[in-house]
Structure 1
Amino acid sequence: MYFSRLTFNPLVSHQQLAQTLLQDTYREHQALWQLFDTDPNAARDFLYRQVLEQGRIKYYVLSEREPVDRSGMWLVDVPKPYDPKLVEGQRLFFTLRANPVVTVATAEGKKLRHDVVMNAKKQMGFDALPPADRLPLQQIVQDSCVPWLQARAESNGFSLEPEWVTVDGYQQHESFAKQQKRPVRYSTVDFQGILTVTDPVRFRTALFSGIGKAKAFGCGLLLVKRV
């Protein structure tokens, strides 16, 4: 695996950048995909996250192959081999942008995915409550998203310290993937906190494969460093 950091080439025209940034995350994903394969039917073998650092948009990318820019649109730092040394009991600081969803059965028996934050608001009858009785949105985000991540911790080879986990940056998005007439709607949140490795093999898989849904839209990449 390779870990890369990308920025936009300042020599690229504003029009070309706007076609990537101002459309939607599907086009952003396609622009990144061109760094690895021009075959539209190829399977995606990378994870990425967009970040804003010092006023500049950057991308962290974890991939099976080294990125190769043929368009001249990117500045690619020298990719670094990614082979983390993991041991049971290791405590790590982590950040994660995720798409937290829960599967809910309808009265007709159909199973639908719901944004966990909106589902929590629905369960508490948020819209019908007097404004003075409504919980702040940030508290709802924290209270619904931390349990969502905890429920996935064991299967991904780690445990959480909930008191050291914060959730913010809740956003709802729309993206017109491929030729779909209706937009794909999804939400994202940003986690950060402390975790403990309980199963190095499973945790390694989580690092390489990501956590949760919407990986094609910049979700799922788990970034870690030593505490």
Structure 2
Amino acid sequence: MFLSRLQFSNSPTAQALSGFWRSPDSGQRRSAQHNIMWSVFAKEGNSEQERDFLWREEGEGSFIALSHRPPMQNDLFRPHVIKEFAPCLKSGDRLAFKLRANATRSLENAETGKSRRLDVVTYDLLSYPMKERGLRRRDVAQSAGTEWIKRQGAKHGFEIIQNAVTDYKIDVLPRFTVGPRCTPKFGIIDMTGLLVVTEPKKLWNQIIFGFGRAKSFGCGLMLLRASS
């Protein structure tokens, strides 16, 4: 695996596209970044390629990516900073983590039997009257995000010690086809905290795969560092 830091360049091409990746509309910005990240990971001539990388935005024009192949260089980016990534995880390791996730649950319609996916915050807010949801949003984001990451830990080899939800927002991507059901919408939670590794192989396999959904749009990459 490779861990890479990518930074937009000052090239004319990058500056010509800056209106998209700097858009004040977070959905448009995320959609543009999705396309730009594919420009350095797409295999030439392979229109059916499955995504084999994760990425997240770290700041204006700066990204971190975890991938099976090193990213290609193009004039949209400064020279990439790339290193091989094979951490030695051990049971009992205490690690700080950072994660941006589209964490979801299925909501079933009792009448039709059909289900739809909602992000965990929206799901939990449905239990409150509409007029209270705005006031409850911050607390519900903290509780729903924490319960979700604890469930992930139980399945994927780690135990949560601390978790803080630092941001929650809903990004609406540009509509690709006609019709409201064709408009992608993601509830995105940013979390930081501490975890203890219980099953290193399980955790590593999930780090490679990514957490939650919307991984093509900058979600799912868990970053770890040693914690005292």
Q: What's the TM-score, normalizing by structure 1?
A: 0.88
Shift of residue 128 of structure 1? 4.2
CA deviations over 1:123-180 (Å, ceiling 9, x no partner)? 122x245x9xx7542211101110011111121111111xx21002111111137x43
Residues 215-226 of structure 1: matches in 2 within 5 Å? 215-226=215-226
| SS state at 1:196 partner | strand
Whole-Å separation in 2 of the counterparts to 1:35 and 1:167: 31
Q: How many residues align?
A: 216
Bigger drift between 209-218 and 168-177 goes to: 168-177
The alignment partner of 2:41 has SS state of coil
Q: Does 2:125 match 1:121?
A: yes
Instruction: Show the counterpart of 1:57.
Output: 61
User: What does 1:83-162 align with in structure 2 at a 5 Å threshold?
Assistant: 83-107=86-110, 108-125=112-129, 127-129=130-132, 135-161=135-161
- Runs of 4+ in structure 1 off by over 6 angstroms are none
Cα pair 2:125 2:136 within 8 Å, conserved = no
Specify the code of the residue in structure 1 equivalent to 2:108.
Answer: A
Deviations 1:61-96 (A, max 9, x none): 0011011123x0101333100000011111100000
Between the aligned partners of 1:2 and 1:8, the Cα distance in structure 2 is 19
| Partner Cα distance (2:193, 2:69) in 1 | 29
| 1:186 correspondence with 2:186 | yes
User: C-alpha distance in 2, partners of 1:152/1:170?
Assistant: 18
After TM superposition, the structure 1 = structure 2 runs for residues 198-213 of structure 1, keeping only pairs within 5 Å, are 198-213=198-213
Distance 2:49 2:117 in 1: 27
**1:92-128 Cα shifts (integer Å, max 9, x gaps):** 0000000121111102111111121122111122x24
Q: Structure 2 stretches of 5 or more lacking a match?
A: none
Quote the residue 2:51 is aligned against: 44
Aligned to 1:18: 19
When the two structures are superposed, what TM-score results if normalisation uses the length of structure 2?
0.88
Give SS of 1:3's match.
strand
Matched residues, percent identical?
28
